Amino acid sequence: METKTQSAWRRYASLYAELWKNSVVREMQFKANFLLWIVVELLWFALQLAFMSVVYSHTESIAGWTRWQVVLLVGCSNLIQQLFTAFFLTNLMEISEHIRTGRLDFMLLLPVNTRFLVSLRKVDLGAFANAAAAGAVVVYALHRLAHVPTVAEILGFGAMALAGLSVHYSLMFLLSTVAFYTVRAQGIVFGYYNLFNIARIPDGAFPPGTFRRVFTFVLPMILVANIPTRALLGTMASPLPMALLAGIALVLFAASEWFWRRALTRYAGASS
């Protein structure tokens, strides 16, 4: 006999499948834009790799990271970022418009969790192509490093990549929810998205101080790609950094949920 939990999971899976279908139809209506955006993102990724090649033409290592270790870091960072873009970015950037135009009123009336709907309503299919390119770079960098990850390292990487993805989602969701108080929050959201570039820098390159503490514990950009990369390479001396990233991910998700519920209590609809 099917339990209520199983029934709910099946219902949400079916709903998400329909949202995917709608996303495919929407993307195929603008094929040129779909392909152009993939090309632009791939060119940007290639420029990042070219920049690293220029830097390493003058040095052997940066903060103990060799050239191909940094290429691996850039690949892992871009993989996590593109997966975030695929599932969440468009949706989170539209939250302030839902509030301003009153579309949120309609969503709140639907018999479905509103956070689920505003977070996953659209899927950016082009980002999956870019994520695949990033995955290819990760595999090639591992080949150049002559490192074959163990099953434990692959599982550790997968868990830490999901934790990094959760950190990005929770922080941007929390910042998007500020729109309940300011009506528009695109500037804040775009500002956070630009911080993604910090994730591509080796953690050892940051000197101890306020900057490093902020981007480790408040906006953990230093952790979201460095720890998954180290997990894949098997270079962490202890599991504490992995536990730190997982703990931060849980705390940020709980904080974003609390802030979302609190913000909803002051929402009076578009007519207000």
Does the pLDDT value for residue 193 go beyond 80?
no
Does the pLDDT value for residue 139 go beyond 70?
yes
Mind listing the pLDDT tens digit for each residue in 145-170?
999 999 999 999 999 999 999 999 99
Q: Which residues pair with 62 in a beta bridge?
A: 65
pLDDT at 200: 83
pLDDT at 10: 86
Distance, CA of 246 to CA of 231 (rounded, Å): 13
pLDDT at 159: 96
pLDDT at 261: 93
DSSP H or E stretch at residue 66: strand 65-66
User: How large is the average pLDDT for residues 188-216?
Assistant: 80
Distance, CA of 69 to CA of 71 (rounded, Å): 5
Q: 220: helix, coil or strand?
A: coil
Distance, CA of 127 to CA of 129 (rounded, Å): 5
CB 234 within 8 A of CB 149: yes
43-57, 134-148, 255-269 — which one is most confidently predicted on average?
A: 134-148
pLDDT at 72: 95
Distance, CA of 61 to CA of 168 (rounded, Å): 28
Mind listing the pLDDT tens digit for each residue in 41-87?
888 888 888 888 888 888 888 878 899 999 999 999 999 999 999 99
Lowest mean pLDDT among 34-38, 177-181, 211-215: 34-38
pLDDT at 183: 65
Torsion of Cα atoms, 71 then 85 then 9 then 254, to 10°: 90
Question: Looking at per-residue confidence, does 35 or 252 come out higher?
Answer: 252
pLDDT at 23: 80
pLDDT-based confidence at residue 125 (cuts at 50, 70, 90): confident
pLDDT at 184: 66
Distance, CA of 5 to CA of 60 (rounded, Å): 54
Task: Tell me how far the alpha carbon of residue 89 is from its chain's centroid.
Answer: 8
CB 147 within 8 A of CB 71: no
Residue labelled with tokens 């591509």: 200
Mind listing the pLDDT tens digit for each residue in 203-228?
888 888 888 888 888 888 889 999 99
Mind listing the pLDDT tens digit for each residue in 74-123?
999 999 999 999 999 989 988 888 888 888 888 888 888 999 999 999 98
Q: How big is the chain, counted in residues?
A: 272
pLDDT-based confidence at residue 186 (cuts at 50, 70, 90): low
Does the pLDDT value for residue 21 go beyond 60?
yes
Percent of the chain having pLDDT more than 90? 42
pLDDT-based confidence at residue 194 (cuts at 50, 70, 90): confident
Question: Looking at per-residue confidence, does 267 or 95 come out higher?
Answer: 95
